[in-house]
Amino acid sequence: MEDIKELIIRLAAENALRYGKASPKAVLGKLIAARPDLRPKAKELISIVEEVVIGVNKMSMNSLKGLAPQRKAKKEEERIWPPLEGVEEGKVVTRVAPEPNGYPTLGHAKGLLVPFIYARLYKGKFLLRFEDTNPRVEKLEYYDAIREEFSKLLEAAERELGLSPGKWDEEIIESYHLPKMYELARKLIEQGDAYVCTCPAHIVRMKRKLGEPCEHRDQSVEKNLELWDKMLSGEFGEGEAHLRLKTDMKHPNITMRDPGIFRIVEALHPIHGDRFRVYPVYDFSVSIMDSLSGVTHAFRSKEFEPHVEVQLAILRKLGLREYSMIQFGRITIEGIPLSKRYIRPLVESRILDGWDDPRIPTLRGLFRRGILPEAIVRFFYELGPSKVDATVNMDIIAAINRKILDPKVHRYMFVPDPIRASIGGLITPAEAKVQIHPNLKKVRKITLNEPRVYIPQIDVKNLKVGDEIRLRGLATVKVRSISPDEISLTMSEDQRKKGVKIVQWAPLNRGVPVKILVPLTPYSYEMIGGYGEPALKELKVSDMIQLIRLGFARVDQRDPFTLIFSHK
Ligand SMILES: [Zn+2]
C-alpha cells in the first residue's frame, strides 16, 4: 500500500509540474496505466489520489521537482546542484553559521547541508561557525545541541550520499574574535569611515528613512575615537550610543544609509560573561568572519539579500578579501510552525515535553519521532540549493524515511484496542512462529501457555459466526460466538486455507502493555493503548520497529512501554 502511495505522490508531482496543477482524474489514469493490477481497486484509490493531489497542489515547484525525479541521473544531479562558478576542485571553502539561540530545526538542516554538500562535491573545506554575538538570546546548551544535531546529519550524509568526511573540518566561535573586530572598527573610525552616533533609536530610524544626516556624522576622528572608547569602557548604557558606517544617507537601498555596525548589549555572554559589552551587528561580523576565515562561497537564506551591499561596503572600506554570496530559499513545513519564536513559549510553559518533543520539527523532535537523519539528508539532497522558498509536506519526508526503514526494521505484532479471544481445540503449550521480516529467513517463536489471546476489536467488528480468520503464525480459526467482551474461536479444519484475513494477536497472559503516542499538532497526541507480543520487552530505547498493519514507531520508554508513532 505504501509503495502505491509513493507512486501516486510521484505521478501527482509530475502532473503538477507539467500542467501547473495536478488533476485527480489524470493522476488516477496514469496510476492505472502504470499498475493495471490496480484497476479493480480504482474506486478505493480515488480518495487517496484526491488527498495526495490536494497536498501536491499546495507545494512549490521545487518540492515538486524533488518528488518527480527525472530518469536522466547525471544531468539531474547537475540541475539540482548547479556548478559553482569559477572554482577549482580543492579550493572551495564553505561554512554553516548558526546562532546558538535555540535548538536547530528542520529549517537549519538546509543551511547546514547546502554548503556541506558543495564543499564535499568540490573536495573543499567546510567550517562550522557559531555566530554568538547577540548574547541576550544565546545559551551554552544551544552550542551543544547544534554540534550534536549537525554531527548526526553530517555522519548520515556520509553514509547515505558518500560525502566524506561527514563532519566539519574546523569549528570557529565568533565571539573569540571580538578583539579583532574592535581593531577593525577603530581602523574604520580612523579612516573617517565610521562615527559614533548618540541619537535615540527612533530618530535614527526616521532620519534614515528621510535620507537626512544627523549632527554626529561630521564629528572629528578624535571625537569619534573618544566616544568609541567610552562605548567600550561602559560610560554609555545600552541604546545610548552606536557605531555607524559612513556610506550614503541618500542611498536608494535604505539598509545602506549609514547602517549601525556596533551596539551596546548589557547582557552576560554565555562564554565570556561580562568581558564584552559592545557587539557587532550581523552584517559586520558575518562579512569580517567569512573574509578572514577564507570562505569562498557563503550561502545564506534569501531574506539577507538587501544586506549584501552593506557587507560588501564593509569589506571594501577595510580592504578585505571579497567572496561569493549565494542566496537560497527558505523551508516551511505545511501546517507546522518552524520558528523558535513560536516553539519557545510552548517549551517554557511546558505545553511541550521539551525541545525534543516529537510533535515539533526541531531536529531533536524529529529524531525522537523516528525520522532518521538519513531521510532528512536525502530529502535536502533531492531538493537542491534552490533560491525559491519551498513548502514541505511532512508526508514526503515520511515517504523517504519509510523507504530506508522498510527493508531492515523488524516487525512486531501489536493489538490496539484489544478484545479477548479463546481458541477452542488449540492444544497448549503451543508455539507460534512469526516472520521477523520478509527479507529474513528467521522467525520469532511465541509460546502460548493457555489458548487465549488478544485480537484487535476493529477486526472483530465485521465478523459473524462461522467466519474464518488467520491468527498470524499461529492458526486459522473459525468464529463460534461473539459477546461484547470476548470472542470465542475454534480451530479450522483446513489450516492451509487461502484468502483468509490475517490478524495480529498477543498472548493473553504474557502480552506486553503498550502505549503508543501519535503526534498530531504541537498541542496534542492521540494515544493508542493495547498489548504487544512478548518480544517487545527486549527492545531498547530508540530502537525502530514496524508494527504489523499499523506503521513505524520508535521505542521512547521501556517502563511503561511507550512507543512514538513515526508514520504509516
Ligand atoms: Zn546621531
DSSP secondary structure of 470-494: EETTTEEEEEEEEETTEEEEEE-S-
Cell representation of residue 395: 508526508
Confidence (pLDDT) at 343: 83
First to last CA, the chain: 10
Question: Which residues in 302-451 belong to E strands, given as ranges?
Answer: 324-328, 331-333, 390-392, 411-412, 414-416, 418-424, 430-435, 443-448
Confidence (pLDDT) at 31: 87
pTM of the model: 0.83
Q: Is the pLDDT of residue 62 over 80?
A: no
Q: Report CA(223)–ligand 1 centroid distance (Å).
A: 13
Q: Report CA(197)–ligand 1 centroid distance (Å).
A: 4
Handedness of CA 160, 104, 556, 474 (dihedral sign): negative
User: 316-359 pLDDT, tens per residue?
Assistant: 999 999 999 998 888 888 877 777 778 888 888 888 889 999 99
User: 285-321 pLDDT, tens per residue?
Assistant: 999 999 999 999 999 887 777 889 999 999 999 999 9
Q: Report CA(219)–ligand 1 centroid distance (Å).
A: 10
What residues pack around ion ligand 1 (CB closer than 5 A)? 197, 199, 214, 216
Confidence (pLDDT) at 313: 96
Q: What is the mean pLDDT of residues 121-145?
A: 96
Weakest mean pLDDT among 376-390, 451-465, 533-547: 376-390
Q: How far is residue 454 from each of residues 400, 460, 478, 489, 538, measured CA to CA in Å?
A: 33, 11, 15, 12, 20
Q: Report CA(240)–ligand 1 centroid distance (Å).
A: 10
Confidence (pLDDT) at 73: 45
Strand, helix or coil for residue 164: coil
Strand, helix or coil for residue 209: helix
Confidence (pLDDT) at 276: 97
Q: Report CA(198)–ligand 1 centroid distance (Å).
A: 5
**Which has the closest alpha carbon to 133: 98, 159, 163, 104?**
98
Q: Report CA(193)–ligand 1 centroid distance (Å).
A: 15
Cell representation of residue 300: 545564506
Q: Is the pLDDT of residue 57 over 90?
A: no
**Which has the closest alpha carbon to 556: 289, 284, 368, 298?**
368
User: 429-465 pLDDT, tens per residue?
Assistant: 999 999 999 888 899 999 999 999 999 999 999 899 9
